[in-house]
Chain A
Amino acid sequence: MKLRRLSIDRMPGIDRPFELADLGQGLNIVVGPNGIGKSRVCAAVRALLWHERGIGAAIEDREFSARALFAHEGDMWSVVRNGSQHAWQRGGVDAMAPILPGERLEGCFFLGLRDLLDDSDRAGRDLAGEIRRQMSGGFDLEAVHRFFREAVRARAGSRENKDLAGAESEIRRAERNQEEVERRERELENLERRASHADRAAKRVIEVEDATSLHTLRGDLSQCQRELDEFPRALGNLDGRESLRLEAIDEELHRKQQEHSAADAGLASSRESIRLSRLDKPIDPGRMETWRERADKLAEQERQLDAARVEQESARELVMQRRRWLGSRTLPAADPELESGFDFGFEDDVELFGFLQEGQQLTTKIEVARERLGLLAAREFSAEDSRQVELLKRGISPLREWLRAPDPDRLMNSRVLGPSPRIAVILGFAVAAIAVALQFTPAGGPASAVGWTAIGLALGLGLGFAIAGILSLARVRVGVGEVDAMDWRSIAERQFPDSLAPPERWSHEGVDARLRQIEEEFSRLDASEKRSRDRLVERGPLEESLSRLEGRLGELDARRNALAERLGLDSLRSDALLLDLAQGLFALRDAAAEARAREARVSALEGDCTTLLEGLAGALVALGESEPSDAASTRAGLHSLEQRDRTLRAAIAETARERGQRERLDSEIERLDEGRAVIFACAEIENQDRLELRRLLEDLPRYGELKSACAELGNRLDRATAQLEAAGASALILRSVAELAEDQAALELQSAGRDELITQIAEIRKDVREAREGHVLEEALAKKVATLEVLRDRREEALAALAGQFLVDGVRQEHEENQMPRVLARARDRFGVFTHHRYELIVSSDAGGSFVAIEEKSGRGLRPEQLSDGTRAQLILAARLAFAEEAEQGADLPIFLDEAMDHSDPERFHAIACSLARMVMNDARQVFYLSNDPTDVERFQNAFAEVGCERLQTIDLGEIRGQGARVDGPGELRVAPLASVPSPNGLDPADYGAAIGVAPLAPREDPGSHSLYYVLRGDLSLLHDLLVARIMTVGQWTNLARAGTDFAKKIGAGGAVGAELEARIALLETFCLAWREGRGREIGRGALERSGAVSDKFLDSLTDIMTELGGDASRLIAELRARKDARLRGYRSKATDDLERFFEEQGYVDDKPILDESEIVERALATPAANRLAPRVVAELVHDWWSLSGGSAPTK
């Protein structure tokens, strides 16, 4: 594949299109000065050959546009690339790209100066790696080996060993604690013995103290007793309240005597009351009750008697009234006979009253009949009424005719309305015919009564229809054929009687209304006529009955006269009078009987009253009461008697009570007298010697005090003695005070430290108990076992990884031994030619997979970095060329050497050039050599001439691009003026820092990257000078100062200013280091990704949390372990362990404590730099930096 033409239209660094045309098939030497675009040519060819080979953002931004023409497989292949658009054509037709080596092999065809100059131990290793891969049949055994090598890293297990050390440390600590507890437990017995001894001594001290106090008590008691004995003995009987008791007795005695006098008076009064009651003894309540009942009965009898007397008078008065009433009618006014017993016979009474009744009934009937007749005769139907009826009849007919006449307006329409008369006729006859047929049908037989009735009814109905139809038919004929409607109405109007009021208007409504009025009037008169006829019929029987009754009334009159005669009456009055008389007689008879009954009752009651009154009067008089005359006086007497009885009873009770009271008072007075006497007796003085008693009582308090003191002392003495005896120390009682003092001193010495011993024993016991009940060591052991388990896993992993390496090495060795690849042979051949066979090329697995050049002369193997630059370049070139041949897979790509041989000496250059010439000649390989040295052209020409190859062509790229080397105009040469640095005049450090736009202080960053502002805040003038010279950072100044530049000297690097600046910079470095301590490196998302412990699922969540925690790895781990954040749910603790391990290994976690400001100041002051600064300046600088770094330390 030969490049024939290359055109570059656009690409970064190429501002003007150019083209390399007519390129040779052999060596093309492209010469031109540096920057002319030789490397761009290589980049353009790369981008044209491999689609994925971009040139950065230029592809996306379409800043790359180039095309090329290749000769390949007998065709011309053109390729155009415009940004990411890439198109091939074969023979002018769009085609797929030709088969090319993989992009990863492109480096084999493009060899730069840097590749050949690489003197690191990696030189040639990538190429060697490729060769080895090739040798391995395409397998990257080195990658597999590398994978295992990483797994067998030396740090594996270090964390576990660290944990193990921690666990063992815990175990040792716990064991030491337990040993200590055990040791102390062993001491326990001794301590308890000592404590017991001290305890006994302490108790003995108390006993000695008690014994000593016993002596004191005895002396006090004797003194007290002596004093007490000087007082009268009787004081012992007194309690000091005797005066008060005497006063109380006197007062009580006085009150009792007063009560006694009052009782005497009461007794006299009650006796007088007895006397005044005039009763010898109380009356028996039963008798009194009987008397009261009898008095009540008497009063009731008297009330009844009074009532009977009133009724008696009323009855007499009624008799007199009845008598007077009768006397005023028929009888003499005062007929003693009648008064005593007027009476009729029974039969007379019946007859009279029967007569009276009959007569009354007749009279009543007659009156009823007459009244009925009167009513029947009251309403007669007159002749006028009859005429009016006739007149109304005559009026009704025309009006009806008028209304029946058809309406002229609707005559034509109304003809079709209603049933057709013809149909009615036909229907009528049809029905009649059916009826007749049924009558004579044989099937009918002897028709039943019902059958006949139905037939008859049907016959009648049929005939009726027929007749009605005929009539209608006739009327219709007349209406239609002879008289019109108007004639009918006119006739009717004319026929209406003149004596009747005509309708208000001869319209249908008016006629209809008038017709109704007349018909109503007619109906009324018609009904009246009918009623008149009915009355006439009824009057006949009534008049006949009246006549009959009046006849009977005549008979009755005859009988009355007979009766009057029989009764001897002059004449009988009217029936009413007779009836009244009869009733009056009956009333008189009843009244007389009633009067007699009342009189008898009065007599009986009067007898009863007299009896009762006499009995009661006797009793009252016998008890000194006056004789009563009636119930009221009897009750008054009884009441008086009751009063006297109550008085007597009360007086008797009072007398008894007063007597008892007086006896009680006598007793109490006597007791009080005795009490008073006792007081004096107790005081052992004469009765009532109150003066002496007072004197005694004045001495009593002191006496009491002494007595109590003696008792107390005695008690204490007894108790102390008893205690000592109980403690078995009774012997101490006998010891003197001095002896006891000696004992006490000795014992106190023995008991010293007792409390401490007890405390110590308690602590030991507590520790032993805690040690027995605890699980501290158990937990530490478990932790150790768990760590060992992990360590075992790590060892297994490491062994497996090493086994993997072992296997890979074995396979590789086996394969390399058996499968020598052509490429290595090719490379070896080329290298031999390049070096005139002074070296042999091998690939050594011992040398990390790199090439090794074996020096023929010495047999010494040299790695690339040990070779001279030229030999190394030859080696790499030989290897590249060999591999390119192997890798191109027939594509036969051109080889680009970009200043690849610049560092070869002429001899080596010549050898390489000859090799290239042979390659061009023998292999028809197209080679591009790009150089800035025009003399290279001659060197190649010589070499090619020597080999006999003529395929060499020189391309002067500077000439091709000469036009583009000129600037377009002055605009391209203009630059923006350098920005001025603000002057610090008048500004404080903070304002000046803001004015110059200083970056925030970041102690995590390299101190050299910090602005000089932070070390020169106190010398803004110097800062300004440095900034004006564009010395912005600490690092810039440090480099200048160390290089001993004139500028640095001018600033004063060698003097005091420089020394102080250097000290400040050193101090800043110290500050940054101290500040970072314990904070670890700040983690970012990339670190999380690299850790391999965070899956995609949790990456975002952890990144968020990490940001919230300020990138602090320790806090992130703590958060993960806390498992409180819902976003971390499901994140496994194993992953947390892995993450923590990663953080530790990568330095994101620092277990050291974070220093605070004062600790940093201490550290800063301890540095040599601080010796060149005043302590105050050091403190100020640290304070400034501490504050500017965010102040207080975060909690870990």
Chain B
Amino acid sequence: MASFQASRAERAEDGESVDELVDELTIVAIGDVHLGMRPASLPENLDHEGVDPRTLTPEAALSATVDYILDVLRVGVDGPPRGVDAVVFAGDVVESTNARFEALRPLETAVRRLLDAGIPVFAVVGNHDVEALPRLARMIEGFELLGEGGQWQARLIEKVGGPAIELLGWSFPERQVRGSPVDQLLRHPLAPLRAGVPRIGLLHADLDASGGNYAPISSSELDAAGLDAWLLGHIHKPSLPEGRSREGVVPNGYLGSLVGLDPSEVGPRGPWLVRVDGRGDVTTRHLPIAPLRWERFELQVEPDEGPEDLGDRLLAEIVRVGEEISLCADGLAESVDESRQESGISAIRAPRVLGLRPILVGPTLHYEELRQCIASGRWSGLTRSAGSTLVFIDKVLDGLALAHDLETLALGDDPAALMARKLLLLKEPSKARSLLLDSARDALRPLALEPRWRALDQERNARDPLADDSAVAAILTRAGTETLNALLEQRDGASRTGV
């Protein structure tokens, strides 16, 4: 195990000046690209709004990343161009079901462009590109796979006259791997290629998953491996900590998808800039340059706000959110590299398209009307422009509450009071709540297991809708609110008719 701390000491002993080591080696790390897929849930009328949906695909995101590497990151203000020393892919570069042809061309194009620019490209194979990536590696000279066949492999990346790192990689040998590759590394460690060189792990695996078919690994294993950083693929939500690594902490985490493939993949997406300086400190920076971004936000509904007013406010809110994200992108652009400002290149761009899922929250006097609007998709697909970003509502989510005081309602002994009590019960953890949730889970389970939903269980990110209490509580709260609203309407209706 060759830690950077030791290597720095060794190098100092060799008489090498620390100042000479103060330079950076820059890697661009790219997470799950899934070429061959395209984002779901885009509005049908995007092209009417002047946006070609093809510019929002993983293919377009990868092309934009290569542009960014070649056009933006190579620019230097003083001295020679800083450039990128290597580009690494953390697996699942292509979608398994579309890995034969359609995904290859954009990948081939991107890799060739990088290689032509003198930037070496490394990758590990993920569970989705077990077949495609080795084939492509054979087709393109210079495109190097690490750890092919499920065997750890190290590769030294050097910068001329500058520092070097050792890149350790492991690739999926087949679509499903039940064992931990890190455990394999721990049991059969690789000797350092050069003493004192920082070591970065590149791996496609399922972190902290209790078992599973996709190379389950644990954080403790990663820590025990003694590497200076871990760049992971597989989970689409980015989790790699940003900034300079802290003393004694090995940064590890997922690079995330290059572009959000569906509305659940909220938040910024893009490649990562990983810089390793001569002292072995790792600095990471997420570059949210994906052309498409998904977000959710809560919209507090005014109690007396009807559908018409709310519709207008929704549109204003999505513009506001879009503008906020644009401003945030501008801020990032300034922080990533000041030289970009001087060179006139906007390093970080606001997403071209922003898909939003507003969650209507808060008590309302128009519960049924708003619920109907949500259910009918009245606001879905609405678009607005926020600067250069086209913002659209993918779907409005229901987080509404009734404009009644549940505590007061719960004082009675009629069904409405009983329902109010149940809603109150769902709010706070308690034994009664757990019993209710268990009971509900038992009641809902047969439905959830019905064959008609089987397709959902076979999804890439399939999850049990009743797996956790919060999900069941959310379902019960929504249904309970709806029930309580219906009961109160009955009561109000009866009182109106005098019956």
Does B443 lie within 8 Å of A161, measured CB to CB? no
Q: Which residue on B lies nearest to A792, using beta carbons?
A: B456
User: Within 8 Å CB of A853, what residues of B?
Assistant: none
Q: B interface, by DSSP: helix, strand, loop or mixed?
A: helix
Shortest A641–chain B CB gap in Å is: 101
Closest to B448 in A: A799
Is A471 part of the contact surface with B, judged by Cβ < 8 Å? no
Q: How far is the CA of A776 from the CA of B448 in the complex (A)?
A: 32
A residues less than 8 Å from B475 (CB atoms): 796, 799-800, 803
When distances are taken between beta carbons in the complex, the residues of chain A under 8 Å from B366 are none
Tell me the bound Cα distance from A803 to B487 in angstroms. 16
Closest Cβ neighbor of B494 among chain A residues: A138
Query: A788 touching B455 by the CB < 8 A rule?
Result: yes
Q: Is residue B116 within 8 Å, beta carbon to beta carbon, of the partner chain?
A: no
For residue A1194, CB closer than 8 A to chain B, the reply is no
Known contacts A137-B415, A138-B494, A777-B36; A795 and B483 CB within 8 A of each other = no
Report Cα–Cα, A774/B38, bound state, in Å: 13
Say yes or no: B36 contacts A788, CB within 8 Å.
no
A233 CB–B CB distance under 8 Å? no
Give A819's nearest chain B residue, CB to CB.
Answer: B413
Taking a contact as CB atoms under 8 Å apart, the answer to whether A158 and B452 are in contact is yes
CB–CB A143/B380 < 8 A: no
Interface residues of B in 457-479 (CB under 8 A from A): 459, 465-466, 475-476, 478-479
Q: Is B295 an interface residue (CB 8 A)?
A: no
Name the distance in Å between A874's Cβ and chain B's nearest Cβ.
28
Q: Is the CB of B447 within 8 A of A802?
A: yes
B262 CB within 8 Å of chain A: yes
Binds A, one of B99-107, B162-170, B249-257, B346-354: B99-107
Q: A381 contacts the other chain (Cβ, under 8 Å)? A: no
- In contact, A771 and B101 (Cβ under 8 angstroms): yes
Chain B residues, CB < 8 A from A786: 40-41
Residue pair A789, B37 in contact (C-beta under 8 Å): no
**Known A-B contacts A788-B455, A789-B262, A799-B447; A777 and B487 likewise in contact (beta carbons under 8 Å):** no
Q: Report Cα–Cα, A797/B397, bound state, in Å.
A: 12
Stretch with Cβ within 8 A of B (4 or more), from A177-185, A570-578, A976-984? A177-185
A residues 132-153 touching B (CB-CB < 8 Å): 136-141, 143-144, 147-148, 152
Residues of chain B with a CB closer than 8 A to A776's CB: 102
Q: Which B359-416 residues have C-beta < 8 A from chain A?
A: 375-378, 380-381, 413-416
Q: Is B491 engaged at the interface, CB distance under 8 Å to the other chain?
A: yes
Q: Does A807 contact B (CB under 8 A)?
A: yes
**Cβ of B490 under 8 Å from chain A:** yes
B38 A796 Cβ-Cβ under 8 A = no
Which residues from A are CB-within-8-Å of B315? none
Give the docked Cα–Cα distance between A812 and B261 (Å). 44
Chain B residues near A775: list those with CB within 8 A.
38, 54, 102
Chain A residue contacts of B380, Cβ below 8 A: 1134
Q: Does B480 contact A (CB under 8 A)?
A: yes
Smallest CB separation, A263 vs chain B (Å):
89
Decide yes or no whether A192 CB sits under 8 A from chain B: no
The complex places the Cα of A1138 from the Cα of B375 at a distance, in Å, of 11
B54 to chain A: closest residue by CB? A775
B494 CB contacts on chain A under 8 angstroms: 138
Contact (Cβ within 8 A) A143 B447: no
| Residue pair B419, A811 in contact (C-beta under 8 Å) | yes
Q: Is the CB of A807 within 8 A of B41?
A: no
A699 at the interface (CB under 8 A from B): no
Tell me the bound Cα distance from A104 to B498 in angstroms.
12
Given contacts A811-B422, A1133-B381, contact A789 B41 (CB under 8 A): yes
CB-based contact A796/B415 at 8 Å: no
Residues in A with CB closer than 8 Å to B497 are 102
- Does the CB pair B38–A782 fall under 8 Å? yes
Chain B 477-499 interface residues, beta-carbon cutoff 8 Å to A = 478-480, 482-483, 486-487, 490-491, 494, 497-499
Q: Which residue of A lies closest to B39 (CB)?
A: A782
Take A157-B453, A795-B465, A819-B413 as given contacts and tell me if A181 and B98 are in contact as well, using a CB distance cutoff of 8 Å: no
Which residues of chain B are near A138, meaning CB under 8 Å? 414, 490-491, 494, 499
Residues of the B chain whose Cβ atoms lie less than 8 Å from the Cβ of A785? 37, 40, 261-262
Q: Would you call B97 an interface residue if the criterion is a C-beta within 8 Å of the partner chain's C-beta atoms?
A: yes
Q: Is the CB of B419 within 8 A of A781?
A: no
A822: B residues at CB distance < 8 A: none
Q: How large is the interface on A (under 10, 10 to 19, 20 to 34, 35 or more residues)?
A: 35 or more
Q: Which residues of A contact B456 (CB under 8 A)?
A: 788, 791-792, 795
Per-residue B-contact encoding for A91-117, CB less than 8 Å = 1, 0 else: 000000000001010000000000000
B247 at interface by CB-CB < 8 Å: no
Check if B95 is an interface residue, CB within 8 A of chain A.
Answer: yes
Decide: A182 and B100 in contact? CB cutoff 8 A.
yes
Q: Closest CB of chain B to A764's CB: distance in Å?
A: 12
Bound complex: CA A148 to CA B484 (Å): 13
B100 and A178 within 8 A (CB) = yes
Which of A772, A789, A803 has the most chain B CB atoms closer than 10 A to its own CB? Answer: A803
Task: Say yes or no: A799-B37 contact (C-beta < 8 A), given A139-B414, A161-B452.
Answer: no
Instruction: Please tell me if the beta carbons of A818 and B413 are within 8 angstroms of each other in the complex.
Output: yes
Q: How far is the CA of A156 from the CA of B451 in the complex (A)?
A: 12
How distant is the Cα of A157 from the Cα of B40 in the complex, in angstroms?
Answer: 19
Query: Given A791-B453, A1132-B377, A147 and B37 touching (CB < 8 A)?
Result: no
- A1135, B376: Cβ atoms closer than 8 Å: yes
Q: How far is the CB of B139 from chain A (nearest CB, A)?
A: 11
Contact (Cβ within 8 A) A811 B418: yes
Contact of B418 with A815 in the complex, beta carbons under 8 Å = yes
CB distance from B307 to the nearest CB of A (A): 12
Instruction: Give Cα A1135 to B381, complex, Å.
Output: 12
- Which residues of B in the span 419-452 have a Cβ within 8 Å of any Cβ on A? 419, 422, 439-440, 443-444, 447-448, 452
Which residues of chain A are near B422, meaning CB under 8 Å? 807, 810-811
Are the CB atoms of B414 and A806 closer together than 8 Å?
Answer: no
Report yes or no: B455 in contact with A806, Cβ–Cβ below 8 A: no
| Interface contact B476-A803, CB-CB below 8 Å | yes
Interface flag for B44 (CB, 8 Å): yes
Docked CA distance A110–B499 (Å): 19
**C-alpha spacing A818/B465, complex, angstroms:** 33
The answer to whether B105 and A773 have CB atoms under 8 Å apart is yes
A785 CA / B42 CA spacing, docked (Å): 11
Per a CB cutoff under 8 Å, which of A136, A143, A1134, A1138 touches B381?
A1134
- Please, how many angstroms separate the alpha-carbon atoms of A158 and B455 in the complex? 12
A164 at interface by CB-CB < 8 Å: yes
B440, B482, B491: most-surrounded residue (chain A CB, <10 A): B482
Residue of B nearest to A797 (CB): B375
Interface centre among B377, B452, B491 (most CB of A within 10 A): B452
Q: How far, in angstroms, from A796 to B395 measured CA to CA in the complex?
A: 14
| B137 to A: closest C-beta gap in Å | 17
**B480 and A799 contact, CB distance less than 8 A:** no
Are A152 and B37 in contact (CB-based, < 8 A)? no
A704 contacts B by Cβ under 8 Å: no
Known A104-B499, A139-B414, A807-B422: A774·B40 in contact at CB below 8 Å: no
Contact B37 A802 (CB under 8 A): no
Q: Are B377 and A1134 in contact (CB under 8 A)?
A: yes
Determine the distance from Cα of A811 to Cα of B54 in the docked complex, in whole angstroms.
52
Q: Which of A136, A796, A808 contacts B414 (CB 8 A)?
A: A136
Q: 4 nearest interchain CB pairs? A: A137-B414, A804-B479, A771-B101, A803-B479
Given contacts A807-B419, A811-B419, 19 further A-B contacts (CB under 8 A): A137-B414, A141-B415, A141-B487, A775-B38, A781-B95, A785-B37, A796-B475, A797-B375, A799-B466, A799-B475, A800-B482, A803-B479, A804-B483, A806-B479, A810-B418, A812-B415, A815-B414, A1134-B378, A1134-B381
Q: Which residues in B have some Cβ–Cβ distance to A below 8 Å?
A: 36-41, 44, 54, 57, 95, 97-98, 100-102, 104-105, 261-263, 375-378, 380-381, 413-416, 418-419, 422, 439-440, 443-444, 447-448, 452-453, 455-456, 459, 465-466, 475-476, 478-480, 482-483, 486-487, 490-491, 494, 497-499
18 pairs of residues in contact across A and B, judged by CB atoms under 8 Å: A138-B499, A139-B416, A143-B490, A182-B101, A777-B102, A789-B262, A795-B448, A799-B447, A800-B478, A807-B422, A807-B476, A807-B480, A807-B483, A810-B418, A810-B422, A811-B415, A815-B414, A1133-B44
